[in-house]
Chain A
C-alpha cells in the first residue's frame, strides 16, 4: 500500500514536470505563424518562396547626396548611413518586395529610412520573372548597431508564413572616431546602380 502511494506521488511529480516542460517550450502563436527564414551571408543568393535576393555590398557614409526635383540635397545624420546594394529576382511569378530592415547585434531593428522616399531604386520594387533588378536599401543607424547585423527582407510587412530573407552581414571594424572603418564622408545616391 505504501509502495503504491509513493509510486503514484512520483508519477504525479513526473507529470507535473512534463507539463511544465511542455508549457515553457511551447512556441508562441507569433512564432508559429511568423515569417519563414531563408538564411544567407553577404554575397550569397538567398532564395525565398517568391523572390531571390543577393546582397552585393554595404557602404557607410556620414552624409548622402540625393537629387530631389533636379536639386541636389544633402542629408546628414547623427548616426551613420548604411547603404546596401542588392539584386532582386522574382521566381515563378511577378511580385513586389516592399520591406527591409536592419537588425543590430543587440536586437534593435531599424526600418528603411523614409527620408529619401522620393528616390528611385528604393523599395518597394516590382519584380518580373527572368528580369533581375538592383535596388538600394538605405538605413540610418546608430554606429554601435553596425557590426554583426542581419538584413531582413520580405515581400510584405506581415510576412506571416512566408519567406523572409535573413542575410548576416558579418563583423565590421570600428575606426577611432567610433564610426565603421571605411565610412566615407559623402555618398551620391544619384549615381546609377
Chain B
C-alpha cells in the first residue's frame, strides 16, 4: 500500500463522518431546544387554563383529588349601589374531599365564570352577600382542615354585566390539574 492510497482512504472516512455529524445536527438541535424549553413550557402550562373538561349538569367529577359538583348558579337581582347593568352572580359547589392534601392539590384555586366569547370573570370583592349557611370560598377551604370524606360547600360571588348572564358557565381550576380545568354545564345546556 502506498501512502497515496492510505491518504485517500482517510479522506473518504473523514467525509463520511463529516456528513454524519451534519445530519445528526438535524436531530440534536431540536432535541437541545426541547430540553432547554421543557421547564418553561411546563411552567407556562401550569399557569394557564387551556383545556376545558365539560361536566354535565348534576354530574360530579373527580378533579384535584376531590369530587366536584355544581349545585347552583343564580343572579342576585335588585341590589342597590352597584355599577349600572351589573348583576351579582353566586356559584355554589359541593365538593366531597378525597385526597385531603388541599394545600398542595388546590394551590392557586381559581373559580371563574366564562361566557360564550371566552371572557372570564374572577370573584369580586365589591359585593359581599351575607349568608347563614356554612359556606367557604375555594381559598378558605384549602385551610379549613377538611378530611377525606368531608363535604365542603363552596360559594363564590361574581359581578357580571347583565348581557353576559345568559351565556356564563362556571369553571374551576387548581394547580394540581392545570392546564386542564372544569367547565360546568347548566341544566338548560
Contacts and interface: CB of A to CB of B under 8 A. Distances in A.
19 contacts: A92-B118, A92-B119, A93-B112, A93-B119, A93-B120, A94-B122, A128-B86, A128-B121, A128-B122, A128-B124, A128-B158, A129-B120, A129-B121, A129-B164, A130-B119, A130-B164, A131-B85, A131-B159, A133-B83
Nearest to B161: A130
Say which size band chain B's interface belongs to.
Answer: 10 to 19
Interface of A: 92-94, 126, 128-131, 133
B160 interface: yes
Contacts of A129: 119-121, 161, 164
B137 to A, nearest CB: 15
A133 to B, nearest CB: 7
B116 to A, nearest CB: 12
B120 A131 contact: no
A80 B122 CA distance: 38
B162 to A, nearest CB: 9
A94 B121 contact: yes
A133 B125 CA distance: 14
Is the contact region of chain B dominated by helix, strand, or loop, or is it mixed?
A: mixed
Interface majority SS on A: helix, strand, loop or mixed? strand
B146 to A, nearest CB: 27
A132 to B, nearest CB: 8
Interface in B98-121: 112, 118-121
A92 B120 contact: yes
Contact of A126 (B85, B112, B119, B126): B126
Contacts of A94: 112, 120-122, 124
A177 B78 CA distance: 51
A120 B122 CA distance: 21
Given A92-B120, A128-B160, A131-B83, 6 more contacts: A94-B121, A126-B125, A129-B161, A129-B164, A131-B161, A133-B83
